[in-house]
Structure formats: structure tokens, C-alpha cells
Amino acid sequence: MIVGIKDGMKLIGIFIMSFCAVFVCTLFLNYNIDFAGIKDQITTPELMVLFDALLATGKVVSALAGGCLLLTSGIMLVFYIRNYIDTHKKELGILKALGYSNLRIAKDFQVFALSVFAGTAVGFGGAFLMMPAFYRTQGKDGLLPEITLHFHPMLAVELIIIPTVAFALLAVGYACIKLRQPAIDLLKERLSMPRKPFSGKVKEDASADGIPFLKEVQSATLRSKKTLVFFVAFGSFCYSSMMQMSGSMDELASEMFACMVFIIGVLLSSITLLLAITTVVHGNTKTIAMMRVFGYTHEECKRAVLGGYRPWAYLGFVIGSIYQYAILKIMVSVVFKDWDNVPEYKFDVKTCIIVLISFAILYKLIMYCYAGKIKKVLLKEVMME
């Protein structure tokens, strides 16, 4: 078995995302199920408005937070499988040359779903540990009847078993697609990529300071790692939207919910950014080593390999700011439109500036740390691989 259990348990990023998704969904969906049981006890139209608003809030939060996190976990799983196949081409090529079918090899990739199972199971259990405090926080105003906490087995099936099976099928299916290459190409570690036809025009030579060449390296790095561009932008998106959203939750929701949003935002953004930049550095070690041999400075190597991701990071931040404003505006204007005493939500410029400054510091710190890794790349180590 080329893909072992240890390989599946290395996907710490998917584990954390699955944990966060199921943790949030379990809290709100379990509360919604128990909360729906007190509908017959509500006697006034005003309380019925509050009842409907709280139910809608649980559905919206579960759909947006849980759905977004699970979708990202799926994208990350595909990325891991693609990266694993690209780094184990020779072993896979040998198996195909020995007569193993694509499906027979791909079945081993179902172990990648172990990280999903572990994350969803721990998230489900953690949510039930938090559930009593969450129920007390939701009913702290005393306007609605007391809600009794119940365990719902079908919720465990829907949030643990079904996602695990779905991710196992996704892993096997995507691995089958990626393995549709001749064994000789895998053995030679050749990528089956369409080549752009030669136009007959030769690019101008680089200038004396090498700037055009560095720009070309930067552009080539982005083109060859399009998935990583998404992860960098998505990490910035998560940080921007979650941090700004948590700053508004003390007025629109509870402090506990604001804390959850803050923690999820930090985890999501940190994991995606670290994953993306780690893969960029590891995937360009040969390029970095050769640039160092030809006399390019550490700063030029850093700019060529990592510099192109900065605009995408800040684009993700802008989109995240717009997204969180739109979501909260919809929540206040649509979900709570019939509920009195709900403050009007406006875009918080001060919070946005604070989050932007903190993001700039965090992004600079991450880039600084990985720039140090670039500096340690040696030609001898690369050539001995």
C-alpha cells in the first residue's frame, strides 16, 4: 500500500477545518432542533418573531460557516492528493508498470478521509461539551421558555459519517483521474500538460540588472501554482471577513459567538497561508538554488518566488471586507427585519483599518519566516535529490 494511514493523518489542515465546520454546525443545528420543540409554548406575536429570527440565524450560520469550511476542506483534499501524486510519480509508475489498475491504486487514497473523520468526530464531541454554555447564552434574556438539551443521532450521521464517506469517494475519484497517465510518463516524472505553440517571436534579452527575468520567474511561479494563488487569496479572505465580523458580533450576537468567529478566522487564514507558501517554497527549490548560483541575491530570489502573491493576498482582503458587510447587512435587514431593538448595521471603517494593519503585519511576518527558508536552500541538496 503506497498510501498509508500516516499519510492520511498528516492532513492537519483538513482536520482543523473539518473540526471548525462540524463544531459550528453541531452547535446551531442541535440548538435549532431542540428550539423548534418549544414552538407550541409561544403565545405572543412578538415572541414568534424572535423565534423565527433565531431559527433563521441558526440555518444561515450553519449553511455559510459549515458549507464554506467543508468546501474549502474538499479543495484542500484535492490539492493534497495532487501534490502527493506529483511527488510520488516513480512509485506510482512502477505499480502501473506491474499491472495495477488506476482504481486499485486509487483505492488506497481513501485513507485521506481519516483526517475528515477525526476532525468531524472531535468537532461533534467538542460542540456537545460547549452545548450547555451555548444554550444558556442563547436564552440569557429569559424571553423564551427554557430549552432542554437532547442528543440527536441523525445529526451525528449527517455531520460525521456522510462527510467522511463523501470525502473518501472524492479522494478515490480524483486520484483515478490524476492517475490516467502512461506508466512511462510517471516513471520519467513527466507532466502531461498542453504546450503553448511557438509563435516565432523570441523574447528580448534581460536587461543588465536582470529585472525582466525576475518578473518572468514571478509570473511563471504564479502560472504553475494557480491553486496556491487561490489559497493565498482565500486565507486573506478568511482573515478579513472573520476578524471584521467578530468585531461586530458583540452588538448583533453574543460574545461567545464573536469569540468562535475570531478563532475560526485565525485558524483558517493561518492554515491556508502556511500551506500555500510552504508548497511554493518547496516546489521552487531548484529554481531558487539555480538563481543563487547565477549570482542573484536573497532579496531578488524572495521577490521572484514570493512577491507575486502579495496583490492576490490584498485582493482577498478586499473581497472579505465586502463579503462580511453583505452577510451582516442581509442578516440585519432580512432575517431580523421584524424584530425591534436591532441596531442598524453600518460598515465599520475603524475595525477595517485595524484588521488591515494586523493582516499586513501577519502577512509580512509569514513572508519573513519563509524568506529565511529560501536563504537556506542549497544547490548541493537539490542536485542530490
d(CA 261, CA 332): 17
Q: 3-state DSSP call for residue 354?
A: helix
CB contact burial 208-232 (16+ within 10 A = b; e otherwise): eebeebbeebbeebbeebeebbbbb
How many helices (DSSP H) and strands (DSSP E) are in the chain? 18, 0
pLDDT at 10: 57
Cα–Cα distance measured from residue 223 to residue 230, given in angstroms and rounded to the nearest whole number: 12
For the chain, how big is the Rg over CA atoms in Å? 25
> For residue 165, how many other CB atoms are within 10 A of its CB?
14
Residue located via cell numbers 456537545: 128
- pLDDT of res. 381: 55
**Predicted pLDDT of residue 122:** 92
CA dist., res. 86 & res. 99, Å (int):
20
Distance CA 372, CA 248 (A): 37
**Lookup result for grid cell 470525502:** 167
How far apart CA 146 and CA 37 sit, in angstroms, is 11
DSSP code of 133?
Answer: H
pLDDT of residue 205: 42
CA distance 29 to 126: 14
Listed as ranges, residues in the chain with pLDDT below 50 are 9, 191-210
What is the C-alpha to C-alpha distance for residues 375 and 385, in angstroms, rounded to an integer?
A: 18
List pLDDT tens digits, range 314-351: 998 999 888 888 877 777 676 566 555 656 677 878 88
Cell of 209: 540588472
The CA distance from 338 to 336, in Å, is 6
Residue 316 DSSP one-character state: H
CA-closest candidate to residue 77, choices 162, 173, 155: 173
CB 361 within 8 A of CB 275: no
Q: How far is CA 61 from CA 28, 67, 125, 261, in A?
A: 8, 9, 19, 11
How far, in Å, CA of 35 to CA of 300, rounded? 59
51: number of Cβ within 10 Å:
18
Contact 65, 21 (CB under 8 A): yes
Place of cell 514570493: 306
Half-sphere exposure (Cβ direction) of 299: Cα atoms closer than 13 Å: 2
- Inter-CA distances, 196 with 59, 199, 221, Å: 47, 9, 16
